[in-house]
A and B are shown apart, each in its own frame.
Chain A
């Protein structure tokens, strides 16, 4: 159990805990419906990034491994480049036109996770840089 830094942050802690599932559901909703309603990978990813940032607001701990997040983000970038190359520039998209929607959703998911990890890394790097 990690203690909050200041004793009077329990309101923020409780409200963040209550909002957590809603943030996850809303972020995934925005990502999954991004191909035909407003939203998409970037916006949904930014909402998902609030998960980790809210955690930082409550507990100022840096036990979150930035290095590992960086590795996962780079792997996602490779997949993000490989999938369109295989699907669009290969002949798959013409051979199976019914897969197009699944392809869009999958790409949005990839972009969403990449943006979420990227923004989390940015904020954590910034917050723990030159920590006194």
Chain B
């Protein structure tokens, strides 16, 4: 009975890990999968293999995957405001059309297997550009919405197409910036 439950859980976890939309959750499910597998090895009387599986697959491999995700796959979006010291999460949620823009960018990131990370920052634009840590900066000045895309990122072209095609009614501008902080302005 225990064996059947464990084996079914293994299959279930494997399917969840494959089907999950967010990569980080898939990695965590894979870690749980390995832990259950190591318990199953113990159940079958192979403690030696169980220890190796628990340490390697559940510990180190999960850590390696998470490090890899952190290095290359997190897409940082910073949201800043005219009155940048008073920026608040409510700005995004209340403005429905603007919220839709953010949601659409989020969907885009998920379809490209990126991990979207949206930050409402109290810093102003020049210091954000200086740091170069964000892939996309969205700045709102009253009705004007300006999107700054980091040229180092591979997905900048597709995102620009998406924003310009979809949001013509919104007062929206897409600007790229590169290593030397030169801004490449293009028609909205």
Classify the interface of chain B: helix, strand, loop or mixed: helix
Residue of A nearest to B50 (CB): A38
Across-interface contacts of B55 in A (CB, < 8 A): 43, 46-47, 50
| Interface membership of chain B positions 18-38, coded 1 if the CB is closer than 8 angstroms to chain A and 0 otherwise | 000000000000000000000
Closest residue of chain A to B70 (Cβ to Cβ) is A127
Q: Which residue on chain B has the smallest CB distance to residue A39?
A: B51
Q: Which of B2-10, B57-65, B141-149, B164-172 contacts A (4 or more CB under 8 A)?
A: B57-65
Determine if A46 and B60 form an interchain contact, defined as CB atoms under 8 angstroms apart.
Answer: yes
Which chain A residues lie closer than 8 Å to B52 at the CB level? 42-43, 46
**B60 adjacent to A53 (CB under 8 Å):** yes
B100 within 8 A of A: no
Total B residues in contact with A, Cβ cutoff 8 Å: 14
CB distance from A17 to the nearest CB of B (A): 18
Across the interface, which residues of A come within 8 angstroms of B47, CB to CB? Answer: 38-39
* Binary contact track A100-132/B, C-beta < 8 Å → 1, others 0: 000000000000000000010001001100100
- Name which residue of chain A comes closest to B133, CB basis: A132
State in angstroms the CA–CA spacing of A57 and B34 once bound together: 21
Please judge, given known A-B contacts A127-B67, A130-B71, whether A39 and B56 are in contact too, CB under 8 Å. Answer: no
Known: A47-B55, A126-B67. A38 touches B60 (CB 8 A): no
Complex Cα–Cα for A41 and B114 (A): 39
Q: List 23 A-B contacts (CB under 8 A).
A: A38-B47, A38-B48, A38-B50, A38-B51, A39-B47, A39-B48, A39-B51, A43-B48, A43-B51, A43-B55, A46-B52, A46-B55, A46-B59, A49-B60, A50-B59, A53-B60, A53-B63, A123-B60, A123-B67, A126-B67, A126-B68, A127-B67, A130-B71
